[in-house]
Structure 1
Amino acid sequence: MMFFQIFFALSFLFSFSNASDFCVGDLNAPQGPAGYSCKKADAVSVKDFVFSGLRAAGNTSNLLKVALTPAFSTQFPGVNGLDISLVRVDYAVGGRATMHTHPEAAEILVVIQGTLYAGFISTTNKVYTKTLEEGDVMTFPKGLMHFQINVGKSGALAFAFYSSASPGVYLMDNAWFANDMPTDILQETTFLDPDQIKKLKGLLGGTG
């Protein structure tokens, strides 16, 4: 009798351990601060742990001449709860990832092709910049403003890895000019010329 009790207890613990090996995101459920809720175990397949969306280059025909192809929990449910994710970044000549932050994650950028000028600004306003060549890696601490610019004569490619399955992004230019904040308020809070503010609002789709 004792043998069966021990066997049952061990079986229960083993099942619980397997169930907590991962938490594949249920993309049909709401996403909360901790990510998606877990998909039922019998609905999980190997497809949840494989993502092929980074094979092809993105379309860089846009204002910034940059294409971002993410593999976050929303696209890649297998990384849900694992505190990891990545994005493919394609840069046309002159392409740039303008000043932005990732509120939920630190970033490591790996240059696969081309030449990038990249950097970040610390909370003490110290600037750290470097020209990165193929094979170089640079890290951007969590929450700090950073950027990358393709300064080469051809297209560039990089992969960015994050310490979160959903790193979030906060674009400085969009935060200021892609909204309905009145121009006079922006003038008072940024010291920018009103004509320049209106020009940037028009460029980025803002009003006011």
Structure 2
Amino acid sequence: MSTQKNLWLLLSIFSLNLAIITLASDPDPVQDFCIPNPILASMIKTHHTFHTILPCKNSSEVITNDFIFSNMKTSGNFSETGLAVMPANPTNFPGLNTLGMSFARTDIEIGGINPPHFHPRATELIHVIQGKVYSGFVDSNNKVFARILEQGEVMVFPRGLVHFMMNVGDEVVTLFGSFNSQNPGLQKIPSAVFGSGIDEELLQKAFGLSSKQIGTMKRKLDPKQER
């Protein structure tokens, strides 16, 4: 009887671990595709996010263009750091819904950067199309894995690890990134630390910065504060 109880206990633990692993990833599709119903999807109120599953429209209303995305032909608008990102996800590319993946075009001006950030729900694979980019990530032991990537090279950033990019060449960098989630999430380290409202005293103690320096960083990174 004791052996049987132990067997059931092991099976229960295995089932629980399997459930946790399953819930940690995008759910498997249960149909060929699920093109979001624009009316029902618009009724779902979100903020800087998109649902893993959006309500489908009738398959008889699906057209070829639902599976084509044409906005990768040119770069997006460049930020103050010289970065332009054009994402492709179910909110602007209906054909991706329920398929567990997303995509992005990234352009970086000469000397520009993609600041340290991470994606909590996805591993990212980048492919350099043009230029030279210093790129890498930091593991949980604070070890940096980085080097200069050139045209045609590919690098992977493991899920949840901080990574970064900087244009070190003499032309605009263009690269494409793919994610194994349709909602990878994005956490920018500078904004998360100085632009999120963390108590100033804690930041002073953590980084050894003065109140004036903290204030400068907050004004730069928090859009709610006056510049």
1:49 equivalenced with 2:67 (yes/no) = yes
Residues 176 and 46 of structure 1, relative CA distance in 2, 3 Å threshold? same
Instruction: Name the structure 2 match of 1:104.
Output: 121
Identity of aligned pairs, percent?
37
TM-score by structure 1 length? 0.84
Instruction: Name the structure 1 match of 2:166.
Output: 149
d(CA) in 2 for partners of 1:77 and 1:192?
46
- Contact residue 26 and residue 77 of structure 1 kept, 8 A: no
How far apart are residue 53 of structure 1 and its match? Answer: 0.7
How far apart are residue 155 of structure 1 and its match? Answer: 0.9
How far apart are residue 33 of structure 1 and its match? Answer: 5.0
1:50-199 mapped onto 2 (5 Å cutoff): 50-60=68-78, 62-199=79-216
- List alignment gaps of at least 5 residues for structure 2: 1-29
d(CA) in 2 for partners of 1:161 and 1:145?
16
Larger mean Cα displacement after TM superposition, 36-45 or 142-151:
36-45
Deviations 1:104-153 (A, max 9, x none): 11000000000000010111211100100000100000111000110111
d(CA) in 2 for partners of 1:37 and 1:190?
45
- Contact residue 134 and residue 147 of structure 2 kept, 8 A: yes
- List alignment gaps of at least 5 residues for structure 1: 1-18
User: Helix, strand or coil: the match of 1:56?
Assistant: coil
CA RMSD of aligned residues (A): 2.0
TM-score by structure 2 length? 0.77
d(CA) in 1 for partners of 2:38 and 2:159?
26
d(CA) in 1 for partners of 2:168 and 2:162?
19
User: Helix, strand or coil: the match of 1:48?
Assistant: helix
User: Helix, strand or coil: the match of 1:197?
Assistant: helix
- Contact residue 52 and residue 97 of structure 2 kept, 8 A: no
1:34 equivalenced with 2:52 (yes/no) = yes
d(CA) in 2 for partners of 1:197 and 1:27?
43
- Contact residue 27 and residue 77 of structure 1 kept, 8 A: no
